[in-house]
A and B are shown apart, each in its own frame.
Chain A
Amino acid sequence: DAKTTQPTSMDCAEGRAANLPCNHSTISGNEYVYWYRQIHSQGPQYIIHGLKNNETNEMASLIITEDRKSSTLILPHATLRDTAVYYCIVRVSRGSTLGRLYFGRGTQLTVWP
C-alpha cells in the first residue's frame, strides 16, 4: 500500500529548479517522508528525508507542509543527469509492516537542454 500520490511525469529546463510534489494525506505523526531516485536500470539512490521541518542537503531541499499532508522535493539547479524516476515514500512506523519502504510508480522527471 503506497501511502503517497505523485504525478506520473514532469519536465524541467536545465539550470532551472525542479519542484516535485507529493501528497501523503494519511501520514502518521511519527512517520518520516523519504525521497529516492532511480536512474534507468540502476538501483535507487537515497536523496533526503524529513519528519516535519524543512531539510536541505547537497542534493536537494525538502519542504514539508505544516499539516504534513504533502511535501515538495526541490532540485535547485537541475542538470541532464537529474533525469530519473523520483519516489516519495512514507516509512511505516508501527505494526507488522514496521520500517517498510513502499515504492509506488514515482514521477519521471525529464530535464531538457
Chain B
Amino acid sequence: DGGITQSPKYLFRKEGQNVTLSCEQNLNHDAMYWYRQDPGQGLRLIYYSQIVNDFQKGDIAEGYSVSREKKESFPLTVTSAQKNPTAFYLCASSMGVMNTEAFFGQGTRLTVV
C-alpha cells in the first residue's frame, strides 16, 4: 500500500531535549511538507522541500530543522530553541508543489514536559 507514514503517534520529551519526528512516503512524491497544529487552530507550515537536498522555511521555522537526503524521507527535528514545542505535527507529500493534492500522514502528537 502506498502512503505516508509518521512515527511515533505519541511522543513525550523533557524540556531542553531535541527530538526528531519521522516522516516516510512511498508515493514517489517530489514535494514534502511539515505542518504544526495547535488546539482549535488551522495548520501552519514549518518547512517544505520541493526536491531532494533542497528545502525552504515556512511561516514558523524558528526552533526547527529538517533534512532531505532521500526522496522518501523528510525528518523534522524540534530543537530546544523552540519555545512552545507541544503540538500536533503533520507531514504531507505531493507530486509537485503546483496544483496537485497533498497526502497527509496521521500525525505525531508531541508533548514536552
Chain A residues within CB distance 8 Å of chain B: 2, 32, 34, 41-46, 49, 87, 91, 93, 98-106
Closest 4 CB pairs of A and B: A99-B97, A43-B104, A103-B43, A103-B42
Distance (Å) between the CB of B47 and the closest chain A CB? 12
Any chain A CB within 8 A of the CB of B99?
A: yes
If A43-B107, A100-B45, A105-B40 are given as contacts, then 7 extra A-B residue pairs at C-beta distance below 8 Å, sorted by A number, are A32-B99, A45-B104, A91-B98, A100-B48, A100-B58, A100-B97, A105-B41
The residue in chain B whose Cβ has the minimal distance to the Cβ of A1 is: B59
Q: Are B106 and A43 in contact (CB under 8 A)?
A: yes
Chain B residues within CB distance 8 Å of chain A: 6, 31, 33, 35, 40-45, 48, 50, 58, 88, 90, 92, 96-99, 101-107, 109
Can you name 14 A-B pairs with beta carbons within 8 Å? A34-B101, A41-B88, A42-B106, A43-B6, A43-B104, A45-B104, A46-B103, A49-B99, A87-B42, A99-B96, A100-B45, A101-B33, A101-B45, A104-B42
* Candidates A44, A49, A106; contact of B104 at CB < 8 Å: A44
The A interface is mostly helix, strand or loop, or mixed, namely loop
The complex places the Cα of A80 from the Cα of B99 at a distance, in Å, of: 30
- Residues of A near B99 (CB, < 8 A) are 32, 49, 91, 93
- Residues of A near B48 (CB, < 8 A) are 100
> How many Cβ-Cβ contacts under 8 Å join chain A to chain B?
56
The complex places the Cα of A98 from the Cα of B44 at a distance, in Å, of: 15
Distance (Å) between the CB of B90 and the closest chain A CB? 5
The complex places the Cα of A29 from the Cα of B109 at a distance, in Å, of: 38
Q: Are B42 and A46 in contact (CB under 8 A)?
A: no
* Candidates B31, B96, B105; contact of A43 at CB < 8 Å: B105
- Residues of B near A106 (CB, < 8 A) are 42
The complex places the Cα of A44 from the Cα of B90 at a distance, in Å, of: 9
* Candidates A46, A99, A103; contact of B35 at CB < 8 Å: A103
Distance (Å) between the CB of B26 and the closest chain A CB? 16
The complex places the Cα of A87 from the Cα of B41 at a distance, in Å, of: 11
- Residues of A near B42 (CB, < 8 A) are 2, 87, 102-106
